[in-house]
Chain A
Amino acid sequence: MGNTTSFGVTAVLALSVSATAAFADNVKIAFIDPLSGPFASTGTNGLHQFEFAAEALVNDKGGVLDGDMFEILAFDNKTSPKESLIQLQVAIDQGARYIVQGNGSGPAHALTDAIKKHNKRNPDSQVLFLNYAAVDPALTNEKCSFWHFRFDANADIKMDALTDVIAANEDVQKVYVIGQDYSFGKSVAEAAVANLAEKRPDIEIVGNELHPIGKVKDFTPYARKIVAAETDAVITGNWGSDMLGLGKAIIENGFTGPIYTYYAAGSGITGAFGETGKGTIRLIAEGQINPPATDEATAYYEAFRAKYPEGNIDQPRISNVIAMLAAAIEEAGTATDVVAVANALEGAEFDSMWGSKIIMRPNDHQAIQNMHIAVHTDDGITFDYDNSGFGVVTESEIEMAGMDSTSTCDMKRPK
């Protein structure tokens, strides 16, 4: 037993030593997301977007400070909180001071909790957590932390924006809410009900239900109920195969109204919906893909496509993370003192190429930006998803969504 252990740990050690020794002056950003397992396609695509953003927005322009380059280190957390914590430790040992993660609120909660403890216990190797996609509102409310910054709008803000659009549509009299049975699905449902009751009390919620996550084989019975309820619109926070299965079942059973979703694009879902979802599937997201908001965005996307012909920029905020981090490092004048960088990020304002100004709200570290509601179609698509000819075209824009939303965050700041 001893022999095997020492062999293995030698391997680990050799690995961490070699990685630490290699580039001393790089700003290391650890990407901790699934690179294997069921969500690997989203993770791999996100990694490509990070690598491309670091290259195009920072390194090609001469880096930050005195030519320090951004280096993305990739770690596979298999969407597991436990593995995320192990990889966090490896990442810190390899010299990463910035952690980016996004897929799954479970790992995000584990990471923010662990980073809070790590920074308290190890003041000489503190790290920042830049969350680019985990949208559980708790992360910027009761579980908020000085070390955590969220660059995506949280589920409540998205729902706030979404219900603004629904409320403006007089044709919608009945709404059906359906989601996966876990924290995110529940908070989507709660926010939908609360927002609609406030903005359009006349709208009737004809259905509000949860289904087990990742266990439903056939969504037909759910679709039957939705059709039978004669609803005008459907709201769902589903993702992955649950999104595709639900959407397809609803449409195939004769529903023609809008299906408002959070995650029905990219990662093969756009391709699989294809003609079926045209004009029905709506998506709420921060960046505007079609029509491209700026010339810079067009050039950026084209360069990305040239490098990754099979990739999608389905998370435009990733380039905001990199650009805002670079700006904050420049402003703080250091990349190693993460408290100074965090202070620079707090309240930072940034003009994104995706057609929005971004403000990092200081009291809860939630980015405030424009939201876009886009429709799944093949008309007027400049950049499609999954090379399918289909993509999302922006229908409406909500400026600075959630600007005045409240937060219960009571942040403890380092002295």
Chain B
Amino acid sequence: MDLILVNLIDGLVTGLLLFMLSAGLTLIFSMMGVLNFAHASFYMLGAYFAYQISLFMGFWMGLLIAPVIVGLAGAGIERYGLRRVHQYGHVPELIFTFGLALLIEEIVQFIWGKNQMPYSPPEILQFTLFSIAGNAIPAYKIFMLCMSMGIFIALLYVLTRTRVGMVIQAALSYPKTVEALGHNVPLVFMGVFGVGTALAGVAGVIAGPVLGTFPGMAFLLGSIVFVTIVIGGLGSLWGALVASLLIGWITTFAASYNVAMADILVAVGFEKPADLSESALRDLWSLTLPQIGPILPYLLMVLILVFRPYGLFGKRDV
């Protein structure tokens, strides 16, 4: 029971972290129709910039400055790269972001090398806040939780309560009409892209110390972010939130419980072969849940797309 509570907290942290990435991506995706493959690369840039800044000015300045730099970089790439490719259609746009992801990874390796960076949480947060039945909950985890909650609330407020948010929401559904009303849609696009990538940057800054800061960190997270927004439904912030939490909890719980395929098969009524090494199905018999945990989101996505192509909360086809 205690372990369930601990896992709920862990899954919440993972899920909310994922949400910070998927929130920006779903906005960008639904507004511009771009599957931004490089989104996780901005997350990586956030971590590296923050690490570099923290060497000179400490963690907190990194948290403050790095996302701004990432956002500016994102806006610049939208203005001078993506907008140029936009005229060729969606596929070249997507391939542009694909190439961008490769290039960013290479540039990061060129500047910082290929090793893990010794980027750690600030001293002030390196203690155990409380423990549940012997399981320590580090203070930094709770800090991550508060950060992502705060960002979610701020985002929700901006999108639903401010004028800018209204324009963005309108531009999501009817970009042509919004433009006809005299709003500068390209500027909105650039702003959304910048803010989206800055959010990814924030996620990188706070996740880098715990999940590791290394050149493969973008690739590790890259496709799962898409999976999240596709499951949640495009353009839906709530969908992104629900899907992020769902994936956070699924992967956490799948890793925590050693449900063995053999037990399930026996329970269903199959008989376990006496000599597994001869059986053609030996891999099926020895399968356990933690082994397949990280690929469950992909399975979920395929199933959802087959049966409900607009995702959990989406209103239109992805």
Contacts and interface: CB of A to CB of B under 8 A. Distances in A.
Interface of A: 38, 40-41, 44, 181, 207, 209-212, 214-218, 220-222, 224-225, 227-228, 241, 244-245, 248, 252-254, 267-269, 271-272, 274, 276, 386, 388
B116 interface: yes
Contacts of B210: 218, 248, 252
Q: How large is the interface on B (under 10, 10 to 19, 20 to 34, 35 or more residues)?
A: 35 or more
Contact of B255 (A216, A244, A253): A216
A214 B295 contact: no
Contact of B134 (A241, A248, A252, A254): A254
Contact of B216 (A218, A224, A241): A241
A60 to B, nearest CB: 29
A227 B135 contact: yes
A214 B288 CA distance: 17
B220 interface: yes
A214 B294 CA distance: 10
Q: Please list the 8 inter-chain residue pairs (A to B) with the smallest Cβ-Cβ separation, ordered nearest first.
A: A268-B115, A221-B255, A41-B114, A272-B116, A268-B116, A254-B136, A215-B294, A221-B256
B128 A254 contact: yes
B115 A245 contact: no
Most-contacted residue by chain B among A214, A220, A245, A269 (CB, 10 A): A220
Given A215-B220, A252-B136, A252-B138, A224 B118 contact: no
A253 B118 contact: no
Nearest to B109: A40
Contacts, number: 122
B169 interface: no
* Max chain A Cβ within 10 angstroms of own Cβ: one of B14, B116, B214, B224: B116
Contact of B290 (A40, A209, A248, A274): A209
Given A214-B220, A228-B134, A269 B116 contact: yes
Interface stretch (B2-10, B23-31, B68-76): B2-10
B124 to A, nearest CB: 16
Contact of B215 (A38, A44, A272): A38
B120 interface: yes
A274 B118 contact: yes
B118 A38 contact: no
A413 to B, nearest CB: 30
Contact of A241 (B136, B214, B224): B214
Given A221-B255, A224-B3, 12 more contacts: A40-B114, A41-B114, A181-B291, A209-B291, A212-B291, A216-B255, A217-B294, A218-B211, A221-B251, A228-B134, A269-B116, A271-B118
Contacts of B214: 241, 268
B118 A222 contact: no
Contacts of B220: 214-215, 217, 241
A211 B291 contact: yes
Contact of B256 (A214, A224, A241): A224
B221 interface: yes
25 contacts: A41-B113, A41-B115, A44-B114, A210-B290, A211-B255, A211-B290, A211-B293, A214-B220, A217-B14, A218-B251, A221-B251, A221-B256, A224-B7, A224-B135, A225-B256, A225-B258, A241-B216, A241-B220, A244-B116, A254-B136, A267-B115, A268-B117, A271-B115, A272-B115, A386-B115
A180 to B, nearest CB: 10
A241 B116 contact: yes
Contacts of B255: 211, 216, 221-222, 225
Nearest to B128: A254
